[in-house]
């Protein structure tokens, strides 16, 4: 392989994230950790903007009920609540999967090293990590259901 091809192969950028070839559960979890992280940051920036309307928005000077009612009229509807449910879903996945990544980073849930053997298929990082990925998915779904009940059924 020429040096240029080797360099291009190792520098795939975002396309590298999106290429599912040779993906395993941990790789997918890594992919979704980044995608959900960026999505949550975008939501937080939007949330900073909408909560600022409590004090009248960018040019406000203090608590302002009419500005708050205005922003509520835009976001407090079924579509806005659907977005909030999606935010809760990705937030809980990101949080629990992030705890898994921290535990792995400090070597607490890594399996014992073993010799690399033919046919060199990617090895999982251990059953503990797989369980935590599934736990992250389960908690995220449960949290999204809870958010649905709070937002659409008036529970809370």
Partner 1 sequence: MKESRLMLVQYATAVAAVALVTVHLIMQGVIYPYTTAISYNNILSVYSNGWYAIFLEVLLVVVLVHGFNGVRIILNEFRQTKPWTTWVNAGTILAIIVTVAYGTRTVILAVFGGAPA
DSSP of 56-87: TSTT--S--HHHHHHHHHHHSSHHHHHHHHHH
Of 128, 101, 96, nearest in space to 30 by CA: 101
Using CB under 8 A, pick the residue from 20, 107, 119, 156 that binds partner 1. Answer: 156
Beta carbons of 57 and 67 less than 8 angstroms apart: yes
Beta carbons of 141 and 41 less than 8 angstroms apart: no
Q: Measured from the CB atom, is 13 or 20 closer to partner 1?
A: 13
Kindly state the smallest distance separating residue 51's Cβ from partner 1, in Å: 6
Q: What are the Cα distances from residue 119, in Å, to 70, 115, 116, 123?
A: 62, 12, 9, 11
**Please, which residues have CB within 8 angstroms of residue 68's CB and are 6 or more apart in sequence?**
53, 54
Contact flags string 2-41 toward partner 1, x per CB under 8 A: -----------xx-------------------x--xx-xx
Q: Measured from the CB atom, is 23 or 146 closer to partner 1?
A: 146
Kindly state the smallest distance separating residue 117's Cβ from partner 1, in Å: 29
Query: Is 107 a binder of partner 1 (CB under 8 A)?
Result: no
Residues that bind partner 1 in the complex, under the rule CB under 8 A:
13-14, 34, 37-38, 40-41, 44-45, 48, 51-52, 54-56, 60-66, 68-69, 72, 76, 88, 91, 95, 98-99, 102, 105, 146-147, 150-151, 154-156
């Amino acid at each position: 392989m020429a040096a240029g091809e080797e360099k291009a192969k190792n520098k795939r950028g975002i396309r590298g994230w999106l290429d599912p070839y040779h993906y395993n559960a941990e790789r997918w979890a890594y992919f979704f950790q980044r995608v959900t992280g960026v999505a949550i940051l975008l939501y937080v920036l939007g949330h900073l903007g909408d909560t600022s309307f409590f004090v009248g928005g960018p040019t406000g000077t203090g608590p302002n009920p009419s500005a708050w009612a205005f922003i509520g009229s835009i976001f407090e509807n079924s579509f806005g609540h659907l977005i909030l449910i999606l935010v809760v879903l990705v937030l809980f996945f990101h949080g629990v999967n992030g705890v898994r990544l921290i535990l792995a980073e400090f070597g607490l849930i890594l399996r014992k090293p073993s010799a690399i053997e033919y046919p060199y298929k990617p090895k999982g990082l251990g059953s503990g990590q797989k369980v935590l990925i599934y736990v992250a998915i389960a908690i995220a779904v449960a949290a999204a259901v809870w958010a649905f009940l709070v937002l659409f059924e008036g529970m809370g």
